[in-house]
Amino acid sequence: MSNQEAVPAGQHRTVLLEEAVDALAIEGARADGVYVDGTFGRGGHSRLLLQRLGPRGRLIAFDKDPQAIATAQEVKDARFEIVHDSFATMAQALSARGVTQVDGVLLDLGISSPQVDDPARGFSFRHDGPLDMRMDTTRGLSAAEWLATETVENIGKVIRDYGEERFAFQIAKAIAARRAVEPISTTRQLADLVAGAVKTREKNKDPATRTFQAVRIHINQELEALEIGLDAAVERLAMHGRLAVISFHSLEDRIVKRFLAARATVQQPDRRLPIRAADLPQPDLKLISKMKPSDAEIAANPRARSAIMRVAERIGARANGGAR
């Protein structure tokens, strides 16, 4: 499809497709390097990465979603491997494969259109379905199971912290009152319950938006995985290797922004101390760019409107060194 065509429901349009792959600067000798796609999804970035890689290049992709794994297994390319796990396991997975450094890491955060549009997954309040919300449906508690057993205080804290919802504790109390009468097992039940507890509504935003986001983030431990994955990515990057991260809401982007800024600066010693310039501490990263989707991309795919991509390059020597 051209960039001007709208995306039908259930189909996934990869956000910042060309821009993200361009950001990894796959050229020259680097085309035969090792790259990581931390979120395979439906494979848009991975397929374009494989087009850019040389014959000796290698791409290791991660995803928690069994449906994404099934799609990845259709990729018949000896340079490609899919790992059924979170990118938070990147360090262990790369070590198990004898990979000590990589030339680029791409993380496309959030959930895909097929996940949102499939009522059976329970991610959306727009469709009635089982209240699941797990990216990996083979493990862990579903949202319904968590809401049935968690304390009111913790439910409120999750909705407040991960949804930035000012009526979080009113919603948590409403959940507790309802579950005492009947299980909250469907997305429609939760959405209606939230609508009754939220006293004022933001313009053009469903009152359930923030609660569904919060519960999904908690169920999948998304922010914890992001922090672990960012650390692992930078520690494995080769000199001049690139890290590109696409985030879709402020909590994710705040973590990415602060992490990159911290790794791109160092505390300089007292200038009065007799230290040679060559011995001064160096930052791990150099910030390269920040980018948002174009107006044309947003028109074709409205779900791209909140995306932000941040790119950084490894400039500090890696402590663990080693060959691929």
Q: Could you report the per-residue pLDDT of 101-128, keeping only the tens digit for each?
A: 999 999 999 888 888 889 999 999 998 9
Cross-strand partners of 85: 63
The residue-averaged pLDDT of 193-197 equals 96
Give the three-state DSSP class for 103: strand
| Annotated binding-site positions | 43-45, 63, 87, 108, 115
Tell me the residue ranges of DSSP E strands in the chain: 34-37, 58-63, 80-84, 102-108, 237-247, 285-291, 308-314
Annotated binding site for S-adenosyl-L-methionine: 43-45, 63, 87, 108, 115
Max alpha carbon distance in the chain (Å)? 72
Structure confidence by residue, pLDDT tens digits, 206-249: 999 999 999 999 999 999 999 999 999 999 999 999 999 999 99
**Residue ranges of domains in the chain, CATH in brackets:** 17-113+222-314 (3.40.50.150), 137-219 (1.10.150.170)
Cα angle: 146, vertex 225, 289; to 5 degrees: 135
Residue 297 sits at φ, ψ, to 5 deg, of -65, -40
Confidence of residue 27 (pLDDT cuts 50, 70, 90): very high
Give counts: helices (H), strands (E), the chain.
Answer: 13, 7
| Better pLDDT: 315 or 203 | 315
Sign of CA dihedral 52, 57, 62, 68: positive
